Amino acid sequence: MTMTTPSQFIESAAHSARLAIDQIDHAAHQADDRLAEKAHQAMNTAKPVIERLTEEAESMARRGLDSARDASRQLRERAAHASDSTVSYIKDEPVKAMLIAAATGAALVTVISLLSRSRHRD
């Protein structure tokens, strides 16, 4: 039976510790490589989804802008039609148009006067 000396024991323990550290380091590198590969796979999987969502968002934005332009155009057309109708009515019925304008003005003055009185009372 061979006896180990304390220095041999320490040397053997140090050697075992170096081997364990090397194994842990190797395992850590393998885990890091696997994690990097999984992250790369996740990015490759997510990229088409993100691109599709981006395209859909752009399409929705374009449709929204087109709708806003159409609504604006329709509103301008209605305003132009109302203006033309008003001018035509004034040309056809100038006396009635003037009486309507005067009555509307009088009504507005009355409403403003009533509102201003109620504010002064408060």
Instruction: Note the pLDDT tens digit of each residue in 19-45.
Output: 999 999 999 999 999 999 999 999 999
Output the CA–CA distances (angstroms, integers) from residue 28 to 16, 21, 31, 35, 93, in the order listed. 18, 10, 5, 10, 94
Q: Report, as an integer, the average pLDDT of 100-105.
A: 92
Structure confidence at residue 102 as a pLDDT band (50, 70, 90) = very high
Question: Who wins on pLDDT, 80 or 4?
Answer: 80
Q: What percentage of the chain reaches a pLDDT higher than 70?
A: 96
Q: Which stretches does DSSP call E strand in the chain?
A: none
Task: Give the start-to-end residue ranges of the domains of the chain.
Answer: 36-121
pLDDT tens track for 41-68: 999 999 999 999 999 999 999 999 999 9
Q: If you ran DSSP here, which 8-state letter would residue 63 be given?
A: H
Average model confidence (pLDDT) for the chain? Answer: 90
Asked whether 39 and 32 are in contact (CB, 8 A), the reply is no
